[in-house]
Structure 1
Amino acid sequence: MSKLVVIAYDSANKAAEVRSRLRTMQKDQTIDLDEALVAVKDEEGEVSLLQTYKPIATEAPNRGFWNSLVGLILMNPVLGMSTSRRANAVGGALTEVGVDQDFLKDLTATFQNGTSVLFALVREASTEKVLAELRGTGGKLLETTLTHAEEARLQAALDCAG
Protein backbone atom coordinates (compact mmCIF):
# COMPACT_ATOMS: atom_id res chain seq x y z
CA MET A 1 0.00 0.00 0.00
CA SER A 2 1.30 3.46 -0.90
CA LYS A 3 2.07 6.04 1.76
CA LEU A 4 0.92 9.62 1.37
CA VAL A 5 3.39 12.44 2.00
CA VAL A 6 2.38 16.11 1.66
CA ILE A 7 5.03 18.82 2.06
CA ALA A 8 4.39 22.57 1.82
CA TYR A 9 7.11 24.98 0.70
CA ASP A 10 7.39 28.77 1.13
CA SER A 11 8.56 29.19 -2.47
CA ALA A 12 6.53 28.72 -5.64
CA ASN A 13 9.31 26.65 -7.28
CA LYS A 14 10.57 24.50 -4.41
CA ALA A 15 7.99 21.68 -4.59
CA ALA A 16 8.74 21.17 -8.31
CA GLU A 17 12.47 21.12 -7.53
CA VAL A 18 11.97 18.46 -4.85
CA ARG A 19 9.73 16.45 -7.19
CA SER A 20 12.59 16.49 -9.74
CA ARG A 21 14.84 15.03 -7.06
CA LEU A 22 12.24 12.33 -6.42
CA ARG A 23 12.15 11.54 -10.16
CA THR A 24 15.92 11.11 -10.16
CA MET A 25 15.67 8.84 -7.13
CA GLN A 26 12.94 6.88 -8.94
CA LYS A 27 15.31 6.29 -11.87
CA ASP A 28 18.01 5.19 -9.43
CA GLN A 29 15.49 2.85 -7.75
CA THR A 30 15.96 4.62 -4.41
CA ILE A 31 12.22 5.33 -4.25
CA ASP A 32 9.18 3.82 -5.92
CA LEU A 33 6.56 6.52 -6.49
CA ASP A 34 2.98 5.78 -7.32
CA GLU A 35 2.27 9.45 -8.10
CA ALA A 36 3.79 12.88 -7.51
CA LEU A 37 1.77 16.06 -7.94
CA VAL A 38 2.81 19.69 -7.40
CA ALA A 39 0.39 22.53 -6.75
CA VAL A 40 1.63 26.11 -7.07
CA LYS A 41 -0.22 29.24 -5.98
CA ASP A 42 1.14 32.35 -7.71
CA GLU A 43 1.23 35.84 -6.21
CA GLU A 44 -2.28 36.59 -7.55
CA GLY A 45 -3.72 33.46 -5.93
CA GLU A 46 -4.05 31.43 -9.16
CA VAL A 47 -3.48 27.71 -8.61
CA SER A 48 -1.54 25.63 -11.13
CA LEU A 49 -1.26 21.88 -10.96
CA LEU A 50 1.93 20.54 -12.46
CA GLN A 51 1.18 17.28 -14.23
CA THR A 52 2.75 14.18 -12.84
CA TYR A 53 5.31 12.34 -14.89
CA LYS A 54 2.91 9.41 -14.91
CA PRO A 55 -0.68 9.95 -16.12
CA ILE A 56 -3.07 10.37 -13.20
CA ALA A 57 -5.67 8.17 -14.86
CA THR A 58 -3.53 5.02 -14.77
CA GLU A 59 -5.45 3.41 -11.91
CA ALA A 60 -9.07 4.00 -10.97
CA PRO A 61 -8.52 4.11 -7.16
CA ASN A 62 -5.84 6.78 -7.50
CA ARG A 63 -7.97 8.79 -9.91
CA GLY A 64 -10.64 9.30 -7.22
CA PHE A 65 -8.05 10.35 -4.67
CA TRP A 66 -6.29 12.81 -6.96
CA ASN A 67 -9.57 14.23 -8.30
CA SER A 68 -10.72 14.88 -4.71
CA LEU A 69 -7.40 16.42 -3.80
CA VAL A 70 -7.38 18.65 -6.89
CA GLY A 71 -10.94 19.70 -6.06
CA LEU A 72 -9.85 20.69 -2.58
CA ILE A 73 -6.95 22.76 -3.88
CA LEU A 74 -9.06 24.56 -6.45
CA MET A 75 -11.84 25.19 -3.91
CA ASN A 76 -9.38 26.41 -1.28
CA PRO A 77 -10.56 30.04 -1.40
CA VAL A 78 -14.17 29.03 -0.70
CA LEU A 79 -13.59 26.56 2.13
CA GLY A 80 -14.48 29.13 4.75
CA MET A 81 -17.39 30.64 2.84
CA SER A 82 -21.05 29.75 2.53
CA THR A 83 -20.46 26.91 0.09
CA SER A 84 -20.09 24.55 3.02
CA ARG A 85 -21.93 21.72 1.25
CA ARG A 86 -19.33 21.62 -1.53
CA ALA A 87 -16.47 21.93 0.95
CA ASN A 88 -18.01 19.16 3.06
CA ALA A 89 -18.33 16.95 -0.02
CA VAL A 90 -14.65 17.38 -0.85
CA GLY A 91 -13.70 16.93 2.79
CA GLY A 92 -15.81 13.78 2.95
CA ALA A 93 -14.19 12.35 -0.15
CA LEU A 94 -10.75 12.96 1.28
CA THR A 95 -11.73 11.50 4.65
CA GLU A 96 -12.72 8.30 2.84
CA VAL A 97 -9.12 7.87 1.66
CA GLY A 98 -7.68 8.64 5.09
CA VAL A 99 -7.12 12.42 4.97
CA ASP A 100 -8.39 14.10 8.13
CA GLN A 101 -9.89 17.52 8.84
CA ASP A 102 -6.72 18.77 10.57
CA PHE A 103 -4.87 18.26 7.31
CA LEU A 104 -7.50 20.26 5.43
CA LYS A 105 -7.11 23.13 7.93
CA ASP A 106 -3.30 22.99 7.72
CA LEU A 107 -3.42 22.96 3.93
CA THR A 108 -5.79 25.92 3.83
CA ALA A 109 -3.62 27.91 6.26
CA THR A 110 -0.33 27.01 4.58
CA PHE A 111 -1.15 27.20 0.87
CA GLN A 112 -0.82 30.95 0.50
CA ASN A 113 0.12 33.10 -2.51
CA GLY A 114 3.68 32.42 -3.71
CA THR A 115 3.91 28.93 -2.21
CA SER A 116 3.83 25.34 -3.45
CA VAL A 117 2.83 21.93 -2.16
CA LEU A 118 4.17 18.49 -3.08
CA PHE A 119 1.80 15.51 -2.87
CA ALA A 120 3.49 12.12 -3.22
CA LEU A 121 2.23 8.57 -2.99
CA VAL A 122 5.23 6.41 -2.19
CA ARG A 123 5.15 2.63 -2.61
CA GLU A 124 8.63 1.92 -1.25
CA ALA A 125 11.76 3.87 -0.42
CA SER A 126 15.29 3.42 0.79
CA THR A 127 14.66 5.64 3.79
CA GLU A 128 18.24 6.70 4.57
CA LYS A 129 19.00 7.61 0.95
CA VAL A 130 15.77 9.56 0.53
CA LEU A 131 16.30 11.46 3.80
CA ALA A 132 19.86 12.29 2.75
CA GLU A 133 18.65 13.60 -0.63
CA LEU A 134 15.88 15.73 0.92
CA ARG A 135 18.06 17.04 3.75
CA GLY A 136 17.85 20.80 4.02
CA THR A 137 15.23 21.33 1.32
CA GLY A 138 12.96 23.04 3.85
CA GLY A 139 9.26 22.60 3.82
CA LYS A 140 6.62 21.76 6.36
CA LEU A 141 5.31 18.23 6.57
CA LEU A 142 1.52 18.63 6.43
CA GLU A 143 0.25 15.08 6.17
CA THR A 144 1.58 11.56 5.98
CA THR A 145 0.50 8.03 6.51
CA LEU A 146 3.96 7.33 7.92
CA THR A 147 4.56 6.30 11.51
CA HIS A 148 5.21 9.10 14.01
CA ALA A 149 8.90 8.15 14.12
CA GLU A 150 9.16 8.24 10.30
CA GLU A 151 7.38 11.63 10.23
CA ALA A 152 9.80 13.06 12.80
CA ARG A 153 12.80 11.82 10.83
CA LEU A 154 11.45 13.27 7.57
CA GLN A 155 10.65 16.68 9.11
CA ALA A 156 14.09 16.75 10.76
CA ALA A 157 15.72 16.07 7.39
CA LEU A 158 13.68 18.81 5.71
CA ASP A 159 14.66 21.27 8.46
CA CYS A 160 18.34 20.36 8.55
CA ALA A 161 20.78 22.89 7.11
CA GLY A 162 21.99 21.79 3.69
Structure 2
Amino acid sequence: MSDLVAIVYPSEAKAEEVRQRLLKLQKEYLITISDAVIAVKTEQGGIKLNQLVNTTAMGAMTGSFWGLLIGVLFLNPILGVAVGAASGALGGALTDFGIDDSFMKSLSANLQTGNAALFVLIKHMTADKVIKEIKDAGGVVLKTSLDETKEKVLRDALASAAERPAA
Protein backbone atom coordinates (compact mmCIF):
# COMPACT_ATOMS: atom_id res chain seq x y z
CA MET A 1 0.00 0.00 0.00
CA SER A 2 1.23 3.49 -0.86
CA ASP A 3 1.12 6.69 1.20
CA LEU A 4 0.33 10.09 -0.24
CA VAL A 5 2.06 13.20 1.09
CA ALA A 6 1.35 16.75 -0.16
CA ILE A 7 3.60 19.58 1.05
CA VAL A 8 3.17 23.26 0.14
CA TYR A 9 6.25 25.35 -0.70
CA PRO A 10 6.52 29.10 -1.40
CA SER A 11 7.75 28.53 -4.98
CA GLU A 12 7.92 25.95 -7.73
CA ALA A 13 11.73 26.06 -7.55
CA LYS A 14 11.70 25.03 -3.87
CA ALA A 15 9.26 22.17 -4.59
CA GLU A 16 11.45 21.00 -7.49
CA GLU A 17 14.53 21.11 -5.24
CA VAL A 18 12.81 18.83 -2.72
CA ARG A 19 11.59 16.50 -5.50
CA GLN A 20 15.18 16.18 -6.76
CA ARG A 21 16.36 15.38 -3.21
CA LEU A 22 13.71 12.65 -2.97
CA LEU A 23 14.78 11.19 -6.33
CA LYS A 24 18.39 11.16 -5.09
CA LEU A 25 17.24 9.34 -1.93
CA GLN A 26 15.42 6.85 -4.14
CA LYS A 27 18.75 6.02 -5.83
CA GLU A 28 20.10 5.33 -2.34
CA TYR A 29 17.15 2.97 -1.66
CA LEU A 30 15.85 5.07 1.25
CA ILE A 31 12.51 5.74 -0.46
CA THR A 32 10.49 4.18 -3.27
CA ILE A 33 8.38 6.73 -5.16
CA SER A 34 5.49 5.79 -7.44
CA ASP A 35 4.81 9.38 -8.53
CA ALA A 36 5.98 12.90 -7.65
CA VAL A 37 4.02 15.83 -9.09
CA ILE A 38 4.35 19.56 -8.51
CA ALA A 39 1.14 21.61 -8.70
CA VAL A 40 1.53 25.37 -9.12
CA LYS A 41 -1.17 28.02 -8.89
CA THR A 42 -0.73 30.40 -11.84
CA GLU A 43 -1.38 34.16 -11.99
CA GLN A 44 -4.66 33.47 -13.83
CA GLY A 45 -5.82 31.22 -10.98
CA GLY A 46 -5.40 27.93 -12.85
CA ILE A 47 -3.41 24.94 -11.63
CA LYS A 48 -0.42 23.72 -13.66
CA LEU A 49 0.80 20.16 -13.00
CA ASN A 50 4.48 19.39 -13.48
CA GLN A 51 4.43 15.60 -13.88
CA LEU A 52 7.44 13.38 -13.27
CA VAL A 53 6.53 11.30 -16.34
CA ASN A 54 5.22 12.90 -19.55
CA THR A 55 2.65 10.28 -20.61
CA THR A 56 1.99 11.98 -23.98
CA ALA A 57 5.66 11.79 -24.99
CA MET A 58 6.01 8.22 -23.71
CA GLY A 59 2.88 7.22 -25.64
CA ALA A 60 4.18 8.84 -28.83
CA MET A 61 7.51 7.08 -28.49
CA THR A 62 6.07 3.61 -27.92
CA GLY A 63 3.41 4.24 -30.59
CA SER A 64 6.15 5.17 -33.08
CA PHE A 65 7.99 1.94 -32.38
CA TRP A 66 4.92 -0.24 -32.84
CA GLY A 67 3.83 1.80 -35.87
CA LEU A 68 7.25 1.31 -37.48
CA LEU A 69 7.12 -2.42 -36.80
CA ILE A 70 3.64 -2.78 -38.27
CA GLY A 71 4.54 -0.42 -41.15
CA VAL A 72 7.51 -2.60 -42.09
CA LEU A 73 5.23 -5.64 -42.21
CA PHE A 74 2.85 -3.84 -44.60
CA LEU A 75 5.68 -2.19 -46.62
CA ASN A 76 4.93 1.40 -45.52
CA PRO A 77 7.09 2.17 -42.47
CA ILE A 78 6.77 5.99 -42.69
CA LEU A 79 2.98 5.87 -42.57
CA GLY A 80 3.21 3.31 -39.77
CA VAL A 81 5.44 5.60 -37.66
CA ALA A 82 3.13 8.59 -38.20
CA VAL A 83 -0.04 6.70 -37.34
CA GLY A 84 1.66 4.94 -34.41
CA ALA A 85 3.02 8.20 -32.96
CA ALA A 86 -0.32 9.97 -33.27
CA SER A 87 -2.31 7.16 -31.69
CA GLY A 88 0.33 6.64 -28.99
CA ALA A 89 0.36 10.35 -28.10
CA LEU A 90 -3.43 10.38 -27.88
CA GLY A 91 -3.43 7.28 -25.68
CA GLY A 92 -0.68 8.74 -23.50
CA ALA A 93 -2.53 12.03 -23.08
CA LEU A 94 -5.63 10.17 -21.94
CA THR A 95 -3.71 7.97 -19.50
CA ASP A 96 -3.54 9.06 -15.88
CA PHE A 97 -0.53 7.54 -14.16
CA GLY A 98 -0.03 7.63 -10.40
CA ILE A 99 -1.85 10.34 -8.46
CA ASP A 100 -5.23 11.41 -9.86
CA ASP A 101 -4.91 14.78 -11.65
CA SER A 102 -8.35 16.06 -10.64
CA PHE A 103 -7.60 15.25 -6.97
CA MET A 104 -4.35 17.26 -7.11
CA LYS A 105 -6.04 20.18 -8.85
CA SER A 106 -8.89 20.31 -6.33
CA LEU A 107 -6.48 20.25 -3.36
CA SER A 108 -4.27 22.89 -4.97
CA ALA A 109 -7.16 25.27 -5.64
CA ASN A 110 -6.67 26.85 -2.19
CA LEU A 111 -2.98 27.65 -2.76
CA GLN A 112 -1.84 31.25 -2.93
CA THR A 113 -0.67 32.43 -6.35
CA GLY A 114 2.93 31.35 -6.99
CA ASN A 115 2.92 28.68 -4.28
CA ALA A 116 3.56 25.08 -5.24
CA ALA A 117 2.44 21.79 -3.73
CA LEU A 118 4.62 18.71 -4.04
CA PHE A 119 2.52 15.53 -4.18
CA VAL A 120 4.50 12.34 -3.54
CA LEU A 121 3.10 8.82 -3.73
CA ILE A 122 5.41 6.70 -1.57
CA LYS A 123 5.54 2.90 -1.69
CA HIS A 124 8.20 2.55 1.00
CA MET A 125 10.52 4.84 2.94
CA THR A 126 12.96 4.92 5.78
CA ALA A 127 11.11 7.80 7.42
CA ASP A 128 13.76 9.13 9.81
CA LYS A 129 16.46 9.40 7.12
CA VAL A 130 14.14 10.88 4.49
CA ILE A 131 12.70 13.49 6.85
CA LYS A 132 16.23 14.43 7.96
CA GLU A 133 17.15 15.12 4.33
CA ILE A 134 14.13 17.29 3.46
CA LYS A 135 13.28 19.05 6.74
CA ASP A 136 15.58 22.05 6.13
CA ALA A 137 13.52 22.95 3.03
CA GLY A 138 10.56 23.77 5.25
CA GLY A 139 7.07 23.60 3.80
CA VAL A 140 3.63 22.98 5.23
CA VAL A 141 1.91 19.61 5.10
CA LEU A 142 -1.32 20.01 3.11
CA LYS A 143 -2.54 16.40 3.10
CA THR A 144 -1.17 13.02 4.03
CA SER A 145 -2.30 9.43 4.38
CA LEU A 146 0.48 8.60 6.85
CA ASP A 147 -0.49 7.28 10.27
CA GLU A 148 -0.81 9.91 13.00
CA THR A 149 2.64 9.43 14.56
CA LYS A 150 4.51 9.63 11.24
CA GLU A 151 2.43 12.64 10.19
CA LYS A 152 3.23 14.43 13.47
CA VAL A 153 6.97 13.76 13.03
CA LEU A 154 6.82 15.15 9.48
CA ARG A 155 4.80 18.23 10.48
CA ASP A 156 7.13 18.96 13.43
CA ALA A 157 10.28 18.58 11.31
CA LEU A 158 9.00 20.93 8.60
CA ALA A 159 7.68 23.42 11.17
CA SER A 160 11.06 23.57 12.93
CA ALA A 161 12.69 24.58 9.64
CA ALA A 162 10.10 27.35 9.15
CA GLU A 163 10.72 28.72 12.66
CA ARG A 164 14.48 29.10 12.14
CA PRO A 165 15.43 32.54 10.81
CA ALA A 166 16.65 32.56 7.20
CA ALA A 167 20.40 33.01 6.85
Query: How far does residue 113 in structure 1 lie from its aligned partner after superposition?
Result: 0.5
Deviations 1:76-114 (A, max 9, x none): 5xxxxxxxxxxxxxxxxxxxxxxxxxxx4xx433x1211
Kept in 1, the 8 Å contact 2:8–2:116? The answer is yes
Q: How far apart, CA to CA, are the structure 2 residues paired with 1:55 and 1:153? A: 34
Written as runs of structure 1 = structure 2, the 5 A alignment for 1:10-159 is: 10-53=10-53, 63=97, 65-70=99-104, 73=105, 104=107, 107-109=108-110, 111-159=111-159
Deviations 1:119-141 (A, max 9, x none): 11100001111010011211111
Q: Which consecutive residues of structure 2, in runs of 5 or more, have no partner in the other structure?
A: 59-95
**Highest CA radius of gyration, 1 or 2?**
2
TM-score (norm 2): 0.65
TM-score (norm 1): 0.67
Kept in 2, the 8 Å contact 1:43–1:113? The answer is yes
Query: How far does residue 39 in structure 1 lie from its aligned partner after superposition?
Result: 0.9
Q: How far apart, CA to CA, are the structure 2 residues paired with 1:68 and 1:43? A: 19
Q: 1:108 is matched by which residue type in structure 2? A: A
Q: Which consecutive residues of structure 1, in runs of 5 or more, have no partner in the other structure?
A: 77-103
Aligned residues: 126
Give me the CA root mean square deviation.
2.8
Q: Which runs of 4+ in 1 moved over 4 A?
A: 53-57
Q: How far apart, CA to CA, are the structure 2 residues paired with 1:15 and 1:42? A: 15
Kept in 2, the 8 Å contact 1:136–1:159? The answer is no
Paired-residue identity, %: 37
